[in-house]
Chains A and B, each alone.
Chain A
Amino acid sequence: MSTLETDKPTDAGAALRKVRPALRIGPVSLVWRPVLFGAVLALAALVFALFCLDIAVGETHIPLRRVLDVLGGGGTRSQRFIIIESRLPRALTAVVVGAALGLSGALMQSILHNPLAGPDVLGITTGASVGAVAVLVGSGGATTGLIATLGAPLAALTGGLLTAVVIYLLAWGRGRAGERGVTGFRLVLIGIGVNAVLLSVISWLLTRASLTDAARAQLWLTGSLNAADMARVAPAVVALALVTVVALVSARTLAALRLGEESTRVLGVRIQAQQALLIGAAVVAASVATAAVGPVGFVALAAPQIARMALRTPGEPLLASALTGAGLVAAADIISRTLLPVELPVGIVTAALGGPFLLYLLVRMNRKATLS
């Protein structure tokens, strides 16, 4: 096809170049969106600022300039010790967990065409919690040793991944297209059901635990950054990096998936394989994040929607959702340690902020449904 119509006043090529300016170098070509790129950079700068602030605040305030100095490799030995050994792991955990949850939520919401989907709603976070609580309650009060430091995170990771496999298998069946596989809608419904079952398992475990064990489990269940250390956050950093790479490589496929099952098929996307890969990536991200700090509610739900509305992108943006999640958790940690009279676990702060936001989303969705 080479003929362009001339009877239309608008030059289609010019109109197109305005909306989708191209960047082409050799065989590589992509759409260059400077405004969006700038917005993501600004968001990254904001997250870095919150990260530094999270390091700065605490029992003794450290001037931001010294934080930057030490992060850049300067500072005295004692300054380095306080910042690198005691403050940095917590702030790093906050941004890594937030980013993993934001990315996980963006992937799930995009694939399942549902702004309310996410690892919390689908039971992944709860599955991870069951694993951790089972170890905390069952370890007989071991406060030191391998079980105490790595047992709960490992059990959480296993719990999250196992839950995802169970939900996926339960949702497996013949779809409308006559193909064996998983449809998004069934996945959401089964996830909600599994989530309810797992919540009751946690309650049951807690009733059977001794008071001290139950208290420890309860603390874990609120999602706290207090126990953050490098050994715990390191696996999360690696997993987040891997999931980010998978997500970014699949961004193009995701754009097709957002057009719904039929159009995606027409465009030649292997829908079941791609869906499984991306849901798998989202599950790994959420499980690792939960394993690191316990369930931090509402970040996976809210971050992608905030990012989408702020950047006005069609569908939930991946990188921006991750950055928004990182910023949310870092901000929640700063708030809980400065503005609040008692230091609350970060999960409670994000839930307190996220709850009203969820209501806002629901009201907004409802309005749109009644308007159209």
Chain B
Amino acid sequence: MTSPAHRLAADSVSLGYGERVIVDELSLDIAPGVVTTVIGPNGCGKSTLLKSLGRLLRPREGQVVLDGKAISSMKTKDVARVIGMLPQTPVAPEGLTVADLVARGRHPHQSWLRQWSADDETEVAAALAQTGIADLAERTLDELSGGQRQRAWISMALAQGTDILLLDEPTTYLDLAHSLEVLDLVDRLHAEFGRTVVMVLHDLNLAIRYSDELVVMSAGRIVARGKPADVVTAELLAEVFGLDATVLTDPVSGRPMIVPIGTRHVHGADGYDE
């Protein structure tokens, strides 16, 4: 990506469904060119926030701002060329092939006359290759394993060629090995192509490992943000997640590593004294 990095921000947004308010007057500047992960306990509003950034949810108050302009006032096609998103549970019609799914990512770049240009083909081929699913191009989605299917959806988001990529729980349904595969891919996206990635992750240790920046949410508000090493402490885990845990240094990455204590299977009072 040679274009200057786009900047995405939430400007005191209030979000909710129906009568229920989930996020109240939240502001967040997304750091360009890095991986930001939003973490927080169930129901804290992290997915809701991500949806509003990807304009899947219209804020009741405040606005989501892209390069200084409210996205609600921008042409939806223009936004789609800058912000891509993988929703949590995407759906596809029965019998759709991987190639055709990934090609749909080119929609914002196409027109009625220009339905499948050479550029489209190059971008889709690159997206297939990056996610390692080129050999599955002819297969239909229903024939794939959960991990392959998730990579196909990510591939579609890549084909959209956006500077900013929002991923809502990209590792759901995946085992640990496949989760790492997907997150390594996300990592490369930002390392090699300078893309801005915002994700929501459940797994705290994976979030710490793969994020440049963590945003910790609780009850609809941001309670901490910064580099994982600065943010993740035993006190924060106790306060935000109600989790009794010890924070160690990950021998592989040198980043923090959370070891939950729980109530049984503990050697001593501080959890790790062998």
Contacts and interface: CB of A to CB of B under 8 A. Distances in A.
A and B: bona fide binding partners: yes
A18 B92 CA distance: 21
A200 B114 CA distance: 49
A15 B134 contact: yes
Contact of B121 (A22, A176, A313): A22
B236 interface: no
A205 interface: no
A267 B134 CA distance: 22
Given A12-B129, A255-B104, A262 B135 contact: no
A172 B81 CA distance: 29
Interface residues of B, number: 65
A79 to B, nearest CB: 44
A178 B64 CA distance: 14
B56 interface: yes
A258 B91 CA distance: 8
Contacts, number: 167
Interface stretch (B94-102, B200-208, B252-260): B94-102
Contacts of B90: 259-260, 262-263
B107 interface: yes
B125 A12 contact: yes
Interface string A257-273: 01110110111111000
A270 B132 CA distance: 32
B102 to A, nearest CB: 8
A156 to B, nearest CB: 33
B121 A266 contact: no
A267 B55 CA distance: 11
B54 interface: yes
A311 to B, nearest CB: 10
Nearest to A21: B116
Interface in A130-185: 174, 176-179
Interface in A106-126: 113
B62 interface: no
A1 interface: yes
Contacts of A176: 17, 57
A4 B137 CA distance: 16
Given A15-B125, A30-B116, A258-B92, 17 more contacts: A1-B123, A4-B125, A5-B129, A12-B129, A15-B137, A16-B99, A22-B121, A29-B116, A177-B58, A259-B92, A259-B93, A262-B90, A263-B104, A265-B56, A266-B85, A314-B92, A314-B97
